[in-house]
Amino acid sequence: MMNWLSQAFAYLLFPFYYVTQPDSQYYWPTYVTAAATCIIAYMFINGRARVSLRRMKELILPSRLLAHESSKLDAKMFFVGLYYLALQVLLVGGTTVLSVAGTVAFMNDTFGAPPAPIGPSWIITGITMLLVFLAVEFGYWFSHFMMHKIPFLWEFHKVHHSAEVLTPLTEWRQHPIELALFPILMSGAACLVQGPMVWYFGAGAQVIDPMKANLISMAFWYTILHLRHSELPFYATGLLGKIIQSPAHHQVHHSTNPQHFDTNLGYCLSVWDWAFGTLYVPKKGEKFDFGLGHKDDALETVVGSLLTPIGRAFSVIAATFRPKPSMPPLSEGDLQGE
């Protein structure tokens, strides 16, 4: 009996494992350092040498947002999300390892054995990190583009856009289909770069294990990543606004203004938005309203957010394949009437 209870307890706590892993974007200190980044940015922008504890609290956890019903649903989705994140990480991690190994095997069969692997090199590691980072960013942009442009996928993505206020926990307000699609395509894009690099230079050429977390990505995790879903008035404009995604960039993405629809689809960078014409650089002082632009009661609960998109997506697919009614043939009288 005690063994069964201990196993059940271990299962319940298993998803929190990923909040304790340094190579995860959900590692709990990343939220702490994001809060520190927020305070430092506020002090720099406003020319302040110090900030009161009360002001810090309002910057990081505004009372207005904490009391909002949308934030309460975000918190519920966070706990639900931990469980399907556990399955997702196992799936994506296994897919990435197999894909890199499969790519190397394919290239060996197609092109033959590469030159003899060279020794560890920081240059090769740096180039690999940069290329993989850009590939992951493209995988995210492409996944996000499909979520907005393919009607049945939009039904799942609506869950995320139904948030009426933005907090770091809004990141978790996502449907399992979305949480699966994004990382699979992101890891697939990374494999297209990482596989050839490992094949040509050898895994031993990497000073850092190429299968571990990308250090460039981790730099974003520990600074601005969790600020994307916030209402902080932090803007990147000019050339910088075409390179990185500031909090205001993602506020534009969640805006109810039709001018902002389907823009700023990037993860940490704006470069793919810039390249494909989906970039909107926010203007300093620009204000936004968030949500779908209308109330969707079905997406106001955890159960509704999980089940409603499935039925709606099937309806969209069914409507796509449903034969359109044909026009009846014209009679002789109709022709004479013309």
Residue 247 has pLDDT above 70, yes or no: yes
Beta carbons of 119 and 205 less than 8 angstroms apart: yes
What is the predicted pLDDT for the residue at 335? 45
What is the predicted pLDDT for the residue at 337? 47
Q: What is the DSSP letter of 255?
A: B
Instruction: Give mean pLDDT, residues 81-93.
Output: 63
Residue 331 has pLDDT above 70, yes or no: no
- For a pLDDT cut of 70, what percent of the chain falls above it? 85
Selection from 172, 159, 202 nearest residue 75 by Cα: 172
> What global pTM score does this model have?
0.86
Please classify residue 154 by burial: count the beta carbons closer than 10 Å to its beta carbon, then call 0-12 exposed, 13-18 middle and 19+ buried: middle
Instruction: Give mean pLDDT, residues 257-283.
Output: 96
Helix, strand, coil distribution of the chain in percent, nearest 5: 65, 0, 30
Residue 56 has pLDDT above 90, yes or no: no
Give residue 248's pLDDT band: very low, low, confident or very high (50, 70, 90). very high
What is the predicted pLDDT for the residue at 338? 47
Give residue 117's pLDDT band: very low, low, confident or very high (50, 70, 90). confident
Instruction: Please identify which residue in the block is written with the tokens 């990190």.
Output: 129
Residues in CB range of 135: below 8 A, 6 or more apart = 189, 190, 192, 193, 194
Residues in CB range of 314: below 8 A, 6 or more apart = 152
What is the predicted pLDDT for the residue at 95? 57
pLDDT in tens, 14-42: 556 667 777 778 888 999 999 999 999 88
pLDDT in tens, 299-327: 999 999 999 999 999 999 998 887 766 65
SS3 state at 1? coil
What is the predicted pLDDT for the residue at 314? 94
Q: Domain boundaries in the chain?
A: 15-316
Q: Kindly report which listed range (130-134, 157-161, 178-182) carries the lowest average pLDDT score.
A: 178-182
Give residue 86's pLDDT band: very low, low, confident or very high (50, 70, 90). low
Residue 122 has pLDDT above 60, yes or no: yes
What is the predicted pLDDT for the residue at 320? 84
Could you list the beta-strand ranges (E) of 148-232.
none
Q: Kindly report which listed range (4-13, 136-145, 176-185, 283-292) carries the lowest average pLDDT score.
A: 4-13
Q: Which tokens in the block code for residue 32?
A: 């702490």
SS3 state at 245? coil
Residue 119 has pLDDT above 90, yes or no: no
Q: How far apart are CA 151 and CA 181, in angstroms?
A: 15
Residue 88 has pLDDT above 90, yes or no: no
Q: How far apart are CA 256 and CA 164, in angstroms?
A: 10
Selection from 295, 20, 29, 291 nearest residue 173 by Cα: 291
Q: How far apart are CA 200 and CA 45, in angstroms?
A: 46
Give residue 152's pLDDT band: very low, low, confident or very high (50, 70, 90). very high
What is the predicted pLDDT for the residue at 307? 94
pLDDT in tens, 124-150: 989 999 999 999 999 999 999 999 999
